[in-house]
Amino acid sequence: MNLKAKSFQIRQDVLDMIYRAKAGHIGGDFSVCDVLVTLYYHVMNVGPDKVNDPNRDRFILSKGHSVESLYCILADCGFFPKSDLETFSQYNSKYIGHPNNKINGIEMNSGSLGHGLPVAVGMALAGKMDNAPYRVYTVMGDGELAEGSVWEGAMAGGHYKLDNLTAIVDRNRLQISGCTEDVMHHDSLDERFGSFGWHVIHAEGNNIDSLIAAFDEAKATKGMPAMIIADTTKGCGVSFMENKAAWHHKVPSAVEYEQGMAELKAKEAAANE
């Protein structure tokens, strides 16, 4: 499968969904899209036929506000009908603005930042205790790293040497209100996670080949969990959304929708050439 093209196709579905619902977090959806596409279509042992398989890999979207990308990928993978997405953010729909485990394929409710890594540590520890073959993955935002519970999870993951656990930081350098380096700086993530006993790997987070290499390295790491610092661009794929804090949860106007869609279609076509 052409994962680069797939990623631009998923972004179009996300743009459609957010434009229709007049709600969503498009900037973080677009920065994390390549990470999620790489995980769901290449790395993880998951699928609609495996939702109750005890050996399935576990995934937690800790930065739960990027649920639109996750919904579009789950629909595309057949976890539920794509038409369900038309109810996103509507009254009585279970497709709400953050992940919840009433939805096929979603393991954990998230959205209150800082909870994904500690729960992923528990899942990975359970896997070790059961001698189970599954791996656990979680994606955090870089703004999310300001939550203290992330560091409790990091401490425990290192302590228990959880080499069945891979965490990813979507390092787009923006959070809700501006630059992470102004709000709460993180420019020593290698040293910080390294000192908690994690193997730190760097990846270009909007480059599928770089991500595949990083996930391969994480899988091959023994005796410690792996932390992939994925350098990304918030809003990646639509020129006027890129690197702008305002697009954290701005809804596109009709003109912006048309322009964004045209850019994404052109990029998908280029990736298919």
Give contact residues for Mg ion (rule: CB under 5 A). Answer: 141-143, 172, 174-175
174 binds ligand TPP (CB under 6 A): yes
One of 6, 56, 63, 267 touching ligand TPP (CB under 6 A): 63
Minimum distance of ligand TPP from residue 64's CB (angstroms): 7
Size of the site for ligand TPP (CB under 6 A): 20
**CA 52 from centroid of its chain's CA atoms:** 22
Q: Name the binder of 263 from ligand TPP, Mg ion, none, CB < 5-8 A by kind.
A: none
What residues between 102 and 161 interact with ligand TPP by CB under 6 A?
Answer: 111-114, 141-144
Q: Scanning the structure block, which residue is given the tokens 């038309």?
A: 86
- The region of 26-34, 67-75, 150-158, 188-196 touching ligand TPP under the rule CB under 6 A is 26-34
235 binds ligand TPP (CB under 6 A): no
Strand partners, 178: 175
Q: Name the binder of 111 from ligand TPP, Mg ion, none, CB < 5-8 A by kind.
A: ligand TPP
The residue among 184 and 220 lying less far from ligand TPP, judged by its C-beta, is: 184
The pair of structure tokens assigned to 159 is 């302590």
Round to whole Å and give the CA distance between 250 and 19.
Answer: 10
- Find the farthest-apart pair of alpha carbons in the chain and give their distance in angstroms, rounded: 54
One of 34, 107, 170, 268 touching ligand TPP (CB under 6 A): 170
Spatial contact of 166 and 136, defined as CB atoms under 8 Å apart: yes
The residue among 118 and 127 lying less far from ligand TPP, judged by its C-beta, is: 118
Round to whole Å and give the CA distance between 22 and 11.
Answer: 16
The residue among 141 and 158 lying less far from Mg ion, judged by its C-beta, is: 141
The residue among 65 and 199 lying less far from ligand TPP, judged by its C-beta, is: 65
Identity of the residue numbered 38: T
DSSP H or E segment with residue 199: strand 199-204
What residues between 188 and 217 interact with ligand TPP by CB under 6 A?
Answer: none
Q: Scanning the structure block, which residue is given the tokens 């059961």?
A: 130
Spatial contact of 214 and 203, defined as CB atoms under 8 Å apart: yes
Minimum distance of Mg ion from residue 256's CB (angstroms): 21
The residue among 103 and 229 lying less far from Mg ion, judged by its C-beta, is: 229
Minimum distance of Mg ion from residue 63's CB (angstroms): 8
From the list 43, 51, 40, 36, the residue with the least C-alpha distance to 106 is: 51
65 binds ligand TPP (CB under 6 A): yes
Please spell the DSSP secondary structure of 109-147, one letter per residue.
---STT-HHHHHHHHHHHHHHTT----EEEEEETGGGGS
| Residue 207 CB partners (closer than 8 Å, separation 6+) | 34
β-strands 136-141, 58-61: how paired? parallel
Q: What secondary structure letter does DSSP report for 40?
A: I
The residue among 150 and 214 lying less far from ligand TPP, judged by its C-beta, is: 150
The residue among 164 and 166 lying less far from ligand TPP, judged by its C-beta, is: 166
For binding to ligand TPP (CB under 6 A), which residues are involved?
Answer: 27-28, 31, 63, 65, 111-114, 141-144, 170, 172, 174-176, 234, 248
